[in-house]
Amino acid sequence: MQIKKINLLLLVIFLVMHCNVAYCVRITVLGSGYVGLITGACFAEFGHEVICADTDVAKITVLQNNHMPIYEPGLKELVIRNVQQKRLSFTNDIDQAIAYAEGIFIAVGTPMDNAGCADLTALSNAFAMIIPHLTSYKLICVKSTVPIGTGQALLEILKSKGIDSHYYDVVSNPEFLREGTAISDFMNPDRIIIGTASEMAQEWMRLIYEPLLEKRIPCIFTTIESSETIKYASNAFLATKLSFINEIANLCDQTGADIFDVSKGMGLDSRIGQAFLKPGPGFGGSCFPKDCSALSQMGNKFGVALNVVQAALKTNEEQKYKPLQKLRVLMKHESLTDKTIAVLGLAFKGNTDDVRYSPAIVTIENLKNEGAQVKAYDPVASENMKKIVPDIIYSHSLYEAVSGADAVIIMTEWDEFKYIDLGLLAELVKQKIVVDARNLLDPRELKKFGFSYSLIGRP
Ligand code: UDX
């Protein structure tokens, strides 16, 4: 039966790859968050028939009404187009969605727990709901970021339950989506990573990702463990690169060197590359902090000292206090009590509404603790920040936020902050003090308008 199935599948693949025959796979994505929603919508755009399922009733209701529960450029248009063409739908009925699917992608959150490890509760719950449906073949694909060994452990569970191995395959298929560019990252990835020992599963994945394979996107077939490791090691390396350039920027602050030129000079070395060499207030987001922490814990579990990853995390935590340190110097270590400080940017990065592990949280909490009045502005992330820090002033524009401010701190690289009218800013603020934690502004212009300023690694 298995041989027949593979032959049939191979025939389908041949027809799809060589005769331009379209085969749409019935796909269910479990978890409709930042990863699951983009994954489901893009698979539908490939031509597959996709159900995005989530236990969160409110989230699914929002989606069923053609609204987006997250801010992601281009997502609304992509979702509405595929819903209208009946390739994409949303449901809370997880069982029905699993029964429908040939391929199930688990894209639930695996947040950091109190011990710094990945919390696999949602993954376990999703997997448990799949098991009763394994009375015919289903491809079970883990897209969530999971500790090395998780995929193998899921296979062991199925074996221990005596489920016929013809009825399932488990695949690791990590995502490398950046918030703010997630759709283009999905549609034009640097690589596709597929971890499985099963030939059948490999063929299914070829069918599902055919539009990308047709574009010659590199695809690596490897083991489940290697696939899981590629995900963590990639994020940890990028985080390490960020902590490294932040430390070099801090050195530039003391030596008078300009990190702009240092980054450029470093990045022209093809072994280093220009990306991820912009210093800032530290990395945030739902991935780097948790993935570095989880990887570090895996090192402890397997008795391997991951010193570099741990150092990157330590540096990152310290970096989050840099904007405050710079502010205190500019304000001549005066008390911040009753001072008005404008914080421009709340999201952990530009082009997203996500405030998870945002450095702005550290800045705002410390300003409040020192008795300052905080006026915060972000183009899209204010509502999310209000859930964490409700008791500050949320302004509706950057110029409203800076009016009457004793100092301005730029925390997020939103384009609108790059083009601030410094002449108008000089008129609106009470004191001309600017901390630019993203190096968006030109020091020469700040000097021209009489500002006392501090950037990150720039004289
Ligand atoms: C990251 C990974 O890039 C992505 O591959 C993975 O799938 C999820 O985690 P994301 O967290 O969305 O994506 O954002 P990213 O663009 O990687 O930025 C991460 C953090 O680094 C942000 O806080 C950003 O502000 C910061 N950053 C990034 C810098 O400080 N300087 C840089 O040059 C680049």
pLDDT tens per residue across span 217-243: 999 999 999 999 999 999 999 999 999
Using the predicted structure, report yes or no on whether residue 3 has a pLDDT greater than 90: no
* Other Cβ atoms within 10 Å of 56 Cβ, number: 14
Backbone angles phi, psi at 16, to 5 degrees: -65, -45
CB 339 within 8 A of CB 406: yes
| Ligand 1 pocket check for 287: Cβ under 6 Å | yes
Residue nearest to atom 17 of ligand 1 (CA): 178
Burial class (CB in 10 A: 0-12, 13-18, 19+), 451: buried
Q: Is 280 in the pocket of ligand 1 (CB under 6 A)?
A: yes
The percent of residues in the chain predicted with pLDDT above 90, rounded, is 94
Q: Is 288 in the pocket of ligand 1 (CB under 6 A)?
A: yes
176 lines ligand 1 (CB under 6 A): yes
Q: Give me the pLDDT at residue 23, please.
A: 76
Spatial distance between the Cα atoms of 201 and 55, rounded to a whole number of angstroms: 27
Q: Coil, strand or helix: which one is 417?
A: helix
Ligand 1 pocket residue status of 284, Cβ below 6 Å: yes
**Per-residue confidence (pLDDT) for residue 7, from 0 to 100:** 65
Supply the residue whose CA is at minimum distance from atom 30 of ligand 1.
Answer: 280
Q: Please, is 266 exposed, middle or buried when counting C-beta atoms within 10 Å of its C-beta (0-12, 13-18, 19+)? A: middle
Span 107-150, pLDDT tens digits: 999 999 998 889 999 999 999 999 999 999 999 999 999 999 99
Residue 355 Cα, ligand 1 centroid: separation in angstroms? 13
Residue minimizing CA distance to atom 19 of ligand 1: 283
pLDDT of residue 41: 98
Q: Is the CB of 435 within 6 Å of ligand 1?
A: no
CB 195 within 8 A of CB 222: yes
- Rounded CA-CA distance 283/332 in Å is 28
- Ligand 1 atom with the smallest distance to the CA of 412 is 25
- pLDDT at res. 422: 98
> If pLDDT is split at 50, 70 and 90, which confidence band does 17 have?
low
Q: What average pLDDT score do residues 263-285 get?
A: 98
pLDDT of 381: 98
Average pLDDT, the chain: 95
* Most ligand 1 atoms within 8 A of CB, residue of 70, 242, 278, 292 to mutate: 242
Give the nearest ligand 1 atom to 246 CA: 30
Tokens encoding 358 = 């945002």
Ligand 1 within 6 A of CB of 35: no
Alpha helices in 19-56 (DSSP H): 34-46
Q: Is 347 in the pocket of ligand 1 (CB under 6 A)?
A: no
239 lines ligand 1 (CB under 6 A): no
CA 349 to ligand 1 center in whole angstroms: 7
* Active site (annotated) includes residue 287: yes
Residue 373 has pLDDT above 60, yes or no: yes
Contact 38, 105 (CB under 8 A): no
For atom 26 of ligand 1, which residue has the closest CA? 283
pLDDT at 370 over 60: yes
65 alpha carbon to ligand 1 midpoint, in Å? 31
Q: What is the pLDDT of residues 26-50, one digit of tens each?
A: 999 999 999 999 999 999 999 999 9
Report the pLDDT averaged over residues 395-421: 98
Rounded (5°) CA angle 447-450-456: 45
Q: What pLDDT is attached to residue 70?
A: 94
Q: Is the pLDDT of residue 21 over 70?
A: no
Counting from 1 in the atom list of ligand 1, the atom nearest the Cα of 145 is: 7
pLDDT in tens, 295-349: 999 999 999 999 999 999 999 999 999 999 999 999 999 999 999 999 999 999 9
CA distance 71 to 143: 21
Q: Is the CB of 43 under 6 A from ligand 1?
A: no
* Index of the ligand 1 atom closest to the CA of residue 285: 11
Reading the block at residue 77, the tokens are: 């248009």
Give, using CA atoms, the residue closest to atom 9 of ligand 1: 287
Q: Can you tell me which atom of ligand 1 is nearest the CA of 282?
A: 30
Ligand 1 atom nearest to CA at 349: 25
Residue 358 CA to ligand 1 centre (angstroms): 11
